[in-house]
Structure 1
């Protein structure tokens, strides 16, 4: 058992805090480590853990000590393992305390998830710091030689049990105000603003099969309001257009969001945290990647599609690629949806196979722990 400090700067929406909160809980619950999670925006944390306080300097949830990160930074003893999530800058006082302690501590920069080829070559590389300390790059990933993906030990067993229990699904959906209609396809939508939404909604409304679109509160609601001609949408609202019934849902805690993904036939997700959870749901998915300057996100999108589609028959792979590109380009969804709809049975089988393939590899928390143990052995 070791002491871990995880630092999270909430940069955009809930992806950063979503990943670090899951990781902190798993390190504490499954591996028995003592974990402090430092967060600079507790308001974002409270959305994921509604019982938490937005003002408390120190609070404890799910076996994790949650600390408010602000300046001046308090005088604390640095942990044995220090994680700066997504290249956030550690407090200078904390770095000085590490350097002055005389005790070696493992300092890791937990990077964003990417399927690009160069990731495996950079995973685990050291980076000497001006303070005299050494920091290591740690990359999550989909292939051997990377840090794997966040996955609790019992996640897939819980998911399969839930998906096999129609009554449990019905009860959960009803708790959100959703009654599944006979023959309807369920799609969840969690996305950034997207000009392509209108075309997709037009296609769903005109589809021969009914669709119920479940939309938790997110930035996409503004585009949804425009398409519906509604001034304001709030949780609990339902709107029908043609063969499309739209349900506006509240922002839900992480475990509830997992259940939402498990209930649906198709999941549109964004960023990193929901993207990973959708893969563990074993359902076809659509990823809205976070847009980057100079279009750097397109390389990341294509890199993932290259490995995700590798075992798909070429026709289905081409259709899926076009659908994802249309969504991220914000155009062409009205034509792309009918083509994708025809290959959904193939994509369903593939999604489950991909889930099994990734689950055969060590998860992120385990690879982090093993990296620490290897580092200790090397130091000895």
Structure 2
């Protein structure tokens, strides 16, 4: 059994901790490692894992030792592998101990997921850190030559079994207070603030098909409240009807329940990295709100993914999907883009399953990290 330390500095509330928590659990459960997950904001972790206690400095949760990464952090026994997640800066005491160790640990900088071409050339490259210490860049990705994406061993089997069981779906949704209307299309919405939301909601309200929009608590609720003309906060359980659109606000749920919500829906609007990956494993059409970056750097990342994801679609379907994603991320034009997208729905649904199967044919991120570690011995 090897020991792994994963350091996570919480950014944007849940994105970074969401990825590292899934990774830590998988390394422990499927690869048998002792994993310590160091988190600087325990409250954010508890939102994803309600059975945890934010007051504890360290605790065992789902086979992982979860520790508070406080400002006065002190070096402990070195792990065999140290993961610096998403460019967070390790404690100086940790780096000093690693340099002084007779047998230095494998130090990995786990980068953000990207489909850009340059990722393949940078994946696995070393960066000398002095006194013989090396840090290696580890890039998740969607093509050979990258680190893959997170996927638990039985994830797709569990997803397919759940989707094939209407009773399980009804029971799960009922537990969230959701009653599915006859012939209704279910859409989940988890996004950053977006001025284009109103146009989309207007289009859904007059769409010939009834839509139930399920909105977990998050940053998009302010825009939703503005469109509705509501004065107060939208609390879990809030519902509203506008034409053929029914909206319902959901509580912030655990990661496993969020997976099931994605599996239940016909279309998933997601944000960032963690929910983006989980929506792909749901095998359903999706809409990605990429994290906005300075000087529009995120557009290159969005287009790089679309260049891969659109392969295999008919030209008309690919163009419609491309315009929908661009409109959502630009915050304008969603009404027209949604109307143009409707005829391509069956093709998108089939394509989502094909993409899922294609990605599942490659090693997942935890397996790729394990292989990299084994090759370093």
Indicate the larger mover: 224-233 or 187-196: 224-233
CA shift for structure 1 position 131: 5.1
Where 1:140 maps in the other structure, the secondary structure is coil
Q: Which residue of 2 aligns with 1:335?
A: 336
| 1:137-176 superposed matches below 5 A | 137-176=137-176
| 1:30-62, Cα deviation, whole Å (9 max, x unpaired) | 110000000000010000011111121111100
Aligned mates of 2:71, 2:173 — CA distance in 1: 43
| 1:30-109 superposed matches below 5 A | 30-109=30-109
Aligned mates of 1:11, 1:62 — CA distance in 2: 23
Aligned mates of 1:131, 1:292 — CA distance in 2: 35
Aligned mates of 1:55, 1:65 — CA distance in 2: 14
Give me the TM-score of the superposition, normalised by structure 1: 0.98
CA shift for structure 1 position 13: 2.2
Whether the 8 Å CA contact 1:265–1:283 is kept in 2: the answer is yes
CA shift for structure 1 position 98: 1.0
Where 1:52 maps in the other structure, the secondary structure is coil
Aligned mates of 1:301, 1:369 — CA distance in 2: 29
| 1:77-111, Cα deviation, whole Å (9 max, x unpaired) | 11000000000000000111111121121000000
CA shift for structure 1 position 130: 3.6
Where 1:312 maps in the other structure, the secondary structure is coil
Aligned mates of 1:98, 1:282 — CA distance in 2: 42
Q: Which residue of 2 aligns with 1:374?
A: 375
Q: Which residue of 1 aligns with 2:365?
A: 364
Where 2:83 maps in the other structure, the secondary structure is strand
Aligned mates of 2:97, 2:276 — CA distance in 1: 36
Q: Which residue of 1 aligns with 2:273?
A: 272
Aligned mates of 1:302, 1:337 — CA distance in 2: 19
CA shift for structure 1 position 132: 3.8
Whether the 8 Å CA contact 1:187–1:265 is kept in 2: the answer is yes
| 1:8-42, Cα deviation, whole Å (9 max, x unpaired) | 00011211000000000000001100000000000
CA shift for structure 1 position 75: 3.1
Whether the 8 Å CA contact 1:10–1:17 is kept in 2: the answer is yes
Whether the 8 Å CA contact 1:150–1:364 is kept in 2: the answer is yes
Indicate the larger mover: 61-70 or 47-56: 47-56
Q: Which residue of 2 aligns with 1:312?
A: 313
Q: Which residue of 2 aligns with 1:323?
A: 324
Aligned mates of 2:96, 2:58 — CA distance in 1: 22
Whether the 8 Å CA contact 1:77–1:97 is kept in 2: the answer is no
Q: Which residue of 1 aligns with 2:243?
A: 242
Aligned mates of 2:346, 2:58 — CA distance in 1: 48
Aligned mates of 1:302, 1:210 — CA distance in 2: 31
| 1:190-213, Cα deviation, whole Å (9 max, x unpaired) | 000000000000000011110000
Q: Which residue of 2 aligns with 1:208?
A: 208
- Over 6 Å off, 4+ runs: none
Where 1:143 maps in the other structure, the secondary structure is coil
Q: Which residue of 1 aligns with 2:291?
A: 290
Query: Any stretches of 5+ residues in structure 2 without a counterpart?
Result: none
Cα RMSD (Å) of the superposition?
0.7
Aligned mates of 2:130, 2:333 — CA distance in 1: 50
